[in-house]
Amino acid sequence: MSQIQFIISKTQLPESSVKNSIALLNEDCTIPFISRYRKEATGNLDEVQIGEIVKFKEHFEVLEKRKTAILKSLEEQDVLTTELKDKINNTQDLTTLEDLYLPYKKKRKTKAETARKNGLEPLAKIIMSQNTNDVESIAFKYIKGDVNSVEDALEGARHIIAEWINERKDIRNNIRNQLEKFATINTKAVKSKIDTSAMLITGSEKAQKFRDYFDWSESLNRIPSHRLLAILRAEKEGFIRVKIEIDDDRALTKIEDRIIRSNNTCSEQIEIAIADSYKRLL
């Protein structure tokens, strides 16, 4: 997809308007100048519409640059298949692009990498197969070198499983979906800004503008834009701390439903690995 096609797909603006606007932008014309003095060329686009063109033009450039870097990395690793290359080239979203690259991304030394070096990946695969009810006896066979006990072996296998879970696109998308639909935004006053003698936030008039958000909670997908902006300003000025949270139990259950299909010692290990992946990696 070309840059023009990409911008049109995102803005639904006429092709001629997009082409001419980009040409003017490439000549270093400003948005106000284009909207006021080049109406004939743009088809009377206003500043907001031209701003959208600028936004998606920059988005496309970042996306294409990242695609080039990822394809180069995959070629160097000798893991680039025709199917994977097509998926990358056809991707129009940075998040999806990074999800495609994640399993091949060069990692810093991780717990999972250490476990692999200790020969525990076969044990992780056995656990994920969920076909045995005596996983500890199997884990005993992996005690060697830096693996000093059955628990060491199981822990290492769980680290590998946790990484696999983190790399699953469907699970990452499910977490994003829950953030979009069910997340809450929670705010608390910064204690260091509290005058304990008067129990008021310092900063007098400036701080009082944000008083409503010293202890606030609201569904993220329902919060009005003006309130979100006020909360972000209060955070930027140091009066509050902001957390975006989802129901952890719900999120864990959703992941378990996608992975666990047995009720044995393997599923117990997978459940621990899911909790670890959710807390540490996802």
Q: What confidence tens digit (pLDDT) does each residue in 130-146 have?
A: 999 999 999 999 999 99
Kindly report, residue by residue over 255-274, the tens digit of the pLDDT. Answer: 999 999 999 999 999 999 99
Whether 202 shows a pLDDT value over 60: the answer reads: no
For residue 226, the model assigns a pLDDT of 87
The pLDDT of residue 264 is 94
| Mean pLDDT across the chain | 91
The answer to whether residue 204 scores a pLDDT higher than 70 is no
Q: What is the CATH number of domain 3-104?
A: 1.10.10.650
CB-count burial class (<10 Å; 0-12, 13-18, 19+) for 72: exposed
Where do the domains of the chain lie?
3-104, 111-172+253-280, 184-245
Return the DSSP state at 109: S
pLDDT at 198 over 50: no
Instruction: Using a pLDDT cut of 90, give the percent of the chain over it.
Output: 79
Is 53 in contact with 35 (CB distance < 8 Å)? no
The Cα 238–Cα 244 span in angstroms is 17
Q: Which residue has the higher pLDDT, 198 or 217?
A: 217
Q: What is the mean pLDDT of residues 5-29?
A: 94
pLDDT mean over 171-175: 93
* Predicted local distance difference test score (pLDDT) of residue 190: 86
Give residue 186's pLDDT band: very low, low, confident or very high (50, 70, 90): very high
Q: Mean per-residue pLDDT for 85-103?
A: 93
Is pLDDT at 194 greater than 60 in this prediction?
Answer: no
37-43 long-range Cβ contacts below 8 angstroms, 24+ apart: 42/17, 43/14, 43/16, 43/17
User: Helical H runs in the chain?
Assistant: 3-11, 15-26, 31-37, 39-42, 47-77, 82-90, 94-101, 111-117, 121-129, 135-140, 150-166, 169-182, 204-208, 225-236, 248-259, 265-280
pLDDT of residue 164: 96
Q: Is the CA virtual torsion 191, 193, 197, 198 positive or negative?
A: negative
pLDDT band at residue 193 under the 50/70/90 scheme? low
Evaluate if residue 73 carries a pLDDT over 90: yes
Q: What percent of the chain has pLDDT over 70?
A: 95
Q: Which residue has the higher pLDDT, 44 or 198?
A: 44
Q: What pLDDT, on the 0 to 100 scale, is given for residue 205?
A: 65
